[in-house]
Amino acid sequence: MYPLSGLEGKVAVVTGAGRLRSIGRPIAVALARAGCDVVLTGTGRSPDRYTDEEKAAGWRDIDSVAGDVVAAGRRALALVSDVADLEAVERLADSVMDEFGRVDIVVNNASVARGEDRKPVVDLDPQLWRLIMDVNLTGSFYMSKVFGQRLVDGGHGGSIVNISSIAGKIFGPNSAAYAASKAGLQALTACMAREVGLYGIRVNAICPGVVDTSRMDDLGRGDVWNETIKTMVPLGRAGTGDDIAHAVVYLCSDEGAWVTGQSWNIDGGTVVQH
């Protein structure tokens, strides 16, 4: 096995990391296994908002993921925070610096779940539009702005990875708010990469396709799900959180040191345009 290098002793911040079957949790665990101490953030969901699967597992939101990080032999810090609140993001950054004295990696994974926004523009509630923009796009902007300054001040480079979506490239009907937020995130990625490259800081986005997380459970796992996979994914299966996590670790490693400003489709071949 050829191990990725340059991650030992680094400090990574992963937002939206509190769900059991998800993208955030595998990212946090993969970074820990690669040698990173990990800061985990979430909104502090109350137990009544857990999925049945989480309730059965005795889930404790970001505290459970912190336990996974510790089990991987690394330090963990679990903090409730709201990426859509600039002051909360500033406090988060201060807490990270107080605890670890540095930050090296930021993974902007927090995102609004599928919901009532999936409808035509003429029927879309403006408050839902604002919520999705506030979390998916503005939240990533706040995190990138605040932690980006910490990376610049640190003087040792670093990596920001934004978890976008192929929805920000294919622009399907009934998805305008979500697609616009993710397309904006890809623009944020490209522009910032050109601004901070001289400091040795890389900024990239990953665009997942259909990933089998609890947020997709409303589709079920029967005929609708199977037909979705059959018609959309040339490799014939849904993605997993680990599929996304492997790409994140690569982008943050020394082996990914010449990759910046990119929005990579990790989607089983669903989207081939850039």
φ, ψ (nearest 5 deg) of residue 272: -110, -10
Q: Which of 94, 105, 108, 169 is closest to 137 using CA atoms? A: 108
By the 10 Å C-beta count (0-12 exposed, 13-18 middle, 19+ buried), 247 is classed as: buried
Q: What's residue 226's pLDDT?
A: 85
Q: What is the pLDDT along the chain (274 residues), one digit of tens a residue?
A: 568 999 999 999 999 999 999 999 999 999 999 999 999 999 998 999 999 999 999 999 999 999 999 999 999 999 999 999 999 999 999 999 999 999 999 999 999 877 888 999 999 999 999 999 999 999 999 999 999 999 999 999 999 999 999 999 999 999 999 999 999 999 999 999 999 999 999 999 999 999 998 877 666 777 877 888 889 999 999 999 999 999 999 999 999 999 999 999 999 999 987 6
Q: What's residue 227's pLDDT?
A: 87
Long-range own/partner contacts, residues 92-98 (CB < 8 A, 24 or more apart): 92/13, 92/39, 92/41, 92/146, 93/146, 93/147, 93/150, 96/11, 96/13, 96/39, 96/150, 97/150
* Strand order across the 105-108 sheet: 76-80, 37-42, 11-14, 105-108, 158-163, 201-208, 263-266
Tokens standing for residue 75: 């330090």
Domain boundaries, the chain: 11-266
What is the spatial distance between Cα 136 and Cα 162, in angstroms, rounded to a whole number?
Answer: 10
Q: Are strands 11-14 and 201-208 parallel, antiparallel or unpaired?
A: unpaired
Tokens standing for residue 63: 């505290």
Q: What's residue 174's pLDDT?
A: 95
What is the spatial distance between Cα 47 and Cα 180, in angstroms, rounded to a whole number?
Answer: 31
Q: What's residue 210's pLDDT?
A: 92
CA atoms within 13 A on the CB side of 23: 30
What is the spatial distance between Cα 132 and Cα 75, in angstroms, rounded to a whole number?
Answer: 32
φ, ψ (nearest 5 deg) of residue 35: 120, 5
What is the spatial distance between Cα 193 and Cα 263, in angstroms, rounded to a whole number?
Answer: 11
149's CB contacts (< 8 A; 6+ apart) are none
User: Which residues are catalytic, by number?
Assistant: 178
| Residue 18 near residue 62 (C-beta atoms within 8 A) | yes
What is the spatial distance between Cα 253 and Cα 143, in angstroms, rounded to a whole number?
Answer: 20
CATH 3.40.50.720 fits 11-266, yes or no: yes
Q: What's residue 1's pLDDT?
A: 55
